[in-house]
Structure 1
Amino acid sequence: MAQVGAVYANTVLVVGIILASAAFASAFGWAIICSKYLEGIARQPEMRAQLMGQMLFTGGLMEAFPMIALGIAMFFTFANPFADAVKTAIGL
């Protein structure tokens, strides 16, 4: 039974890593998007409206990434396929 507990503990650790890396990647992506937006406005101020639309569209795509990672993390948290495999392997 200790093996199943170890699987749950490792799953919690990995879910934390998944969520932290998704949050970091999203924040880093937003930083790059916004810096390039400001750089584009500095070079061509007349393109501000078009650049803003493109920035917001790209930012929306960037926000989808953490939501996908959250869905995967919740799958591993609540429907842990690894725990069932260990239970089957040890005969529980």
Structure 2
Amino acid sequence: MTDIGFVALACGLIIGLGAIGACIGVGIMAGKYIEASARQPELMNALQTKVFLLLGLIDASFIIGVGIALWFATANPFMG
């Protein structure tokens, strides 16, 4: 396998593992939110704010990983 092949493999792993981690994190968080709002419905508004904030942070980490992978894919460090 060439060096370019390893870069493509690394980009796929960065994006794939980041997507899996983000999906698992969002799923666990949403499940816990549903549980908490079912137990104490009066806290639903305060919990919803925190859920959306954490959702943005979880997705931001995945998007940063995608940006880094795309940067590796387009910038060829093996030329020159």
**TM-score of the pair, normalised by structure 1:** 0.80
**How many pairs were matched up?**
80
Residue 36 of structure 2 corresponds to 40
- Cα drift, residue 80 of structure 1: 2.7
User: CA shift at 1:48, angstroms?
Assistant: 0.7
Q: Which residues of structure 2 form unaligned runs of 5+?
A: none
Runs of 4+ in structure 1 displaced over 3 angstroms?
A: none
Identity %: 32
**Structure 1 segments unaligned to the other structure (5+ residues):** 88-92
What is the alpha-carbon distance in structure 2 between the residues aligned to residue 80 and residue 16 of structure 1?
16
Q: Give the helix-richer structure, 1 or 2.
A: 1
Which structure's CA Rg is the greater one? 1
- The Cα RMSD (Å) is 1.4
For residues 13-66 of structure 1, give each alpha carbon's deviation from its aligned partner in whole angstroms, at most 9, with x where no partner exists: 111111100110110110111011011112211101111111011101111011
TM-score by length of 2: 0.91
